[in-house]
Amino acid sequence: MSLDQMWAGWRSEFVESIPSPKEDCILCALGRLSVGVDTHVLLKGDLNFVVMNAFPYAPGHVMVVPYAHEGEYLSLGEDVVEENLHLTRRVVAAIKKVYGPDGFNLGANIGKAGGAAIAAHIHFHIVPRWIGDTNFMTSVANTRVLPESLAASYERISSALD
């Protein structure tokens, strides 16, 4: 039995953009920014913030990120997890309102072995999904097909959060 592999070459741009441990964590830096279309930060809570994913898998792909620079899920405080889930529900409702997806992928890649590109700072993805939305453009042609800009996605979700 052999294991087939598919490469997602577009991921290298993102992985190479991650600061070294000697530099500031990109997620910590995003957490210090103001809410706005230019920063892609949609919403700020007391313990977490919501930001558009700069390399989205689908229109409306966002992340809910604790401010705490922590890579271990079990080390997050109950209050952080509670607010994270509250913000996730709020954003899922907004995305459903403006995009009407058929479903969602919700989750986190925890640790390098779990696929985390930024293993030192846990973050949770919200990816709207539609029946038939997957294709091989990303892995074969090193291209993502998105029907709108990141700014347009931001504006649509932001308007539904108000």
Which residues participate in catalysis according to the annotation? Answer: 123
Other CB atoms within a 10 A radius of the CB of residue 81 amount to 16
Other CB atoms within a 10 A radius of the CB of residue 52 amount to 21
Torsion-angle region of 141 (φ positive above 0: left; ψ -120 to 50: alpha; else: beta) = alpha
Question: In the structure encoding, which two tokens stand for residue 42, read together?
Answer: 């949609």
Please state, in angstroms and rounded to a whole number, the distance separating the CA atoms of residues 29 and 34: 11
**What are the helix (H) ranges across 8-149?**
11-17, 26-31, 78-99, 137-141
Which residue is it, tokens 């919501």?
50
Round the CA-based radius of gyration of the chain to a whole number and report it: 16
Which residue is it, tokens 């990141």?
150
